[in-house]
Structure 1
Amino acid sequence: MAVSDTGNPEQQGFQSTENYIVSNELALAVNAAVTLQKPLLIKGEPGTGKTRLAEELAQSLDTELLRWHIKSTTKAQQGLYEYDAVSRLRDSQLGSERVHDISNYIKPGKLWQAFTAEKRPVLLIDEIDKADIEFPNDLLHELDQMEFHVYETGEQIKAKQRPIVIITSNNEKELPDAFLRRCFFHYIRFPDAETLAAIVAVHYPNIQKKLLATALEVFFDLRNVPNLKKKPSTSELLDWLKLLLVEDVSPSELANQQGGLMPMFGALLKNEQDVELVEKLAFMSRRSSR
């Protein structure tokens, strides 16, 4: 991949790598976000490579990847810095000299690290939709102005250069309009069979073509089952194929599924409702074909 460190894409721009296959639409989205110097908000089903995108981008640029994995309890302030008042109080009671310098108790967060990095880093804000609804709004100023104030020390932390910001969301909740306006948005569509075959080839270059074709047919038939609670993802397909290869399952065995469930179905179906649904549909299909 070729994305220049000055913020402008080079002629080729973002491309698939040996380890990561991207669509033309995703490549254009990355280049656009880098050019506009805006955060790239990536949405899509779990397992479609949203987090992997940031990893590959940082590796291609030979720069640091700063991961900020968001949880339900995460607050925006933690991305800036945290002040450890408890440690300072303890040191004060123990008569430590450290207590006279409040900066000893300031822990920089991921945004602080990104703003002060010598080389332009990639900052991954992963699964932002897991946090409280106010979390994105609380980051508006910092992501827009690329600076923030440290009240305890009076410092103003300003970015040496704008980091490349990748924000992922699994669409668990809506994000505020004011936040969305400041981002470049891209939804990763689920890959088609041709793209999936290319992705599989990266991980299992020696897989039999017939086995892969049969496996993909079974996989897409499963994803198309109506009312499936959780559709299997790309990462789950790769896990399933690995098991098929380890167990030396032949294309004919895969095609002639016993009991309506594919071999190693636990890699693809993740709850009992979906297992029962697939079994029921297979039973009805067998009865109608008699």
Structure 2
Amino acid sequence: MNASPASAEPLYRGTGVPLLDDVPYEERAWPAGPPWRTFTTPPAMPAPPDDDESERRLGSTRIHRLARPDEVRLVNAALLLRRPLLVTGRPGVGKSGLAFLIARELRLGRVLQWAVTSRTTLGSGLFEYDAVGRAQALHSRARDDEPTGTGDFVQLGPLGTALLPYRLPRVLLIDEIDKCDIDLPNDLLTLFEDGYYAIPPLIRVKAKEPTVTVHTADPGGRAEVTGGVVGCHVFPVIVMTSNGEREFPEAFMRRCLRMDLPEPDAAALGEMVAAHFGDRLGPREEQLIHQFLRRSDRVGGLAADQLLNAVHLVTSGHYPRASTGESGEAEWADLLESIWHPLGGEGTEPA
């Protein structure tokens, strides 16, 4: 990646294909952010683990996406401004997939995922402290003289892990943030501005344990925390998804870039099917795509993975009538109707 401000090449191209270069993680460049979004914590974390989920989510890297120009512009603006992306759109249009596309294309490692519910708090995304386990360990230590550290009982969450001082930004997916408690967007404001947070249990013991090793949200991951405070070196790439079920405070929206994902058209669905099932679409797959779009229009919208389910059944060989293109057969038509059910539940199909 060329970090020169004179470079006309965007960081993110939206193709879904990883950038090819031989520069080690420790030497890779990243463009500077604005002065008010620059953080002073020196990089101290090794390269994150590879993302083992992107191929399952996105399909083969051999298929080039035809990204919309506004998607490319907004993603690159978010990268350069160090601001979160709020991605809105109907359920099933691929909002969460954008985080995996960014991580795979820019080779930023495993995507950290934070699924939000009405009970989610800022603290749960940052860290959890096992006070009971710590007390039991202290009792065992007093009895058996076995050494134990406070950091063994601190587990960073996905948000807390994303703010560790990595050399390059981690990608964090905050999924369905519109389901959150009313206070969470305001709680995130200071964190998004400051890029650091404190871990009170570690602050309380910093005189005896100035540097501790804690668990992270990566499988088997560990990180050193000094003085009980975690601060980022470069602000993470944050993708927040919303189904448009609520309004957010103005102060929160001012700190985000908003992207609205439209319904995928036949070309976008064809790219998705080809990425998962092969480089080239046959008549069966093309016919299913057009059937899917007609059905989606009738029932008020379907999710893209409902199309993938149907394509898998067609290509599995277990439905020979469908495989030979006889899609008018009653059994196959009934099965498709069940797979392509309206997302609203028991609602009836419009006339």
TM-score category by the smaller chain? 0.7 to 0.9
- Give 1:34 deviation, angstroms: 0.7
Q: Is the 8 A contact 2:93 2:303 kept in 1?
A: yes
The aligned length equals 271
Could you tell me how far 1:236 is from its partner in structure 2?
A: 0.9
1:268 corresponds, among 331, 340, 343, to: 340
Residue type of the alignment partner of 1:84: D
Contact persistence 1:8–1:35 (CA under 8 A): no
Name the residue aligned to 1:179.
252
Instruction: State whether structure 2 residue 324 is matched by structure 1 residue 239.
Output: no
Kept after mapping to 1: 8 A contact 2:274/2:281: yes
| Aligned CA distance change for structure 1 residues 98 and 53 (closer, same or farther; 3 Å) | farther
Q: Which amino acid in structure 2 is aligned with residue 28 of structure 1?
A: R
Distance in 1, Cα, partners of 2:6 & 2:98 = 18
Question: 2:43 aligned with 1:45, yes or no?
Answer: no
**CA shift at 1:38, angstroms?**
0.2
What's 2:127 paired with? 81
1:191 corresponds to: 264
Percent of pairs with identical residues: 27
1:208 aligned to which of 271, 278, 282: 282
- Tell me whether 1:62 sits opposite 2:107 in the alignment: yes
Tell me what 2:68 maps to: 23
Give yes or no for contact 1:9–1:34 (8 Å, CA) kept in 2.
no
Consecutive unaligned residues in structure 1, runs of 5 or more: 282-290
* 1:75–1:212 distance in 2 versus 1, CA, 3 Å: same
Give the direction of change, closer, same or farther, for the CA distance of 1:102–1:212 in structure 2 (3 Å limit). Answer: closer
Could you tell me how far apart the structure 1 residues matched to 2:178 and 2:187 are? 13
Mean Cα deviation higher: 151-160 or 76-85: 151-160
Question: Which residue number corresponds to residue 123 of structure 1?
Answer: 172
Asked if the contact 1:70–1:131 (Cα under 8 Å) also holds between the matched residues in 2, the reply is yes
Q: Distance in 2 between matches of 1:215 and 1:122?
A: 34
2:247 is paired with a residue of what secondary structure? coil
Contact 2:165–2:231, Cα closer than 8 Å, also in 1: no
State the 1:240 CA deviation.
Answer: 1.2
Partners of 2:4 and 2:119 in 1: CA distance: 35
Per the alignment, do residues 51 and 107 of structure 1 end up closer, same or farther by CA in structure 2, a change over 3 Å counting?
same
Aligned-CA RMSD value: 3.1
Residues 259, 34 of structure 1: CA spacing in aligned structure 2 closer, same or farther, 3 A cutoff?
Answer: same
Give the Cα separation in 2 of the matches to 1:138 and 1:53: 24
Decide which of 113, 116, 120 is 2:161's aligned counterpart: 113
Q: Please say if residues 8 and 34 of structure 1, whose CA atoms lie closer than 8 Å, have aligned partners that are also in contact.
A: no
| Deviates further, 153-162 or 25-34 | 153-162
- Normalising by structure 2, we get a TM-score of 0.67
Q: 1:20 to 1:72 in 2, by over 3 A?
A: farther
Of 185-194 and 145-154, deviating more is 145-154
Q: Distance in 2 between matches of 1:103 and 1:76?
A: 20
Post-superposition offset of 1:95? 4.3
Checking the alignment, whether the CA contact within 8 Å between 1:48 and 1:235 is kept in structure 2 is no
Distance 1:215 1:262, change over 3 A: farther
Q: Is the 8 A contact 2:91 2:243 kept in 1?
A: yes
Does residue 172 of structure 2 align to residue 134 of structure 1? Answer: no
**Structure 1 residue 141: Cα displacement:** 0.7
Tell me which residue corresponds to 1:285.
none
Distance in 1 between residues matched to 2:3 and 2:121, nearest whole Å: 30
State the 1:269 CA deviation.
0.9
TM-score (norm 1): 0.79
Specify which structure has the higher proportion of helix.
1
Larger deviation, residues 231-240 vs 98-107: 98-107
Q: 1:51–1:126: 8 Å Cα contact kept in structure 2?
A: yes
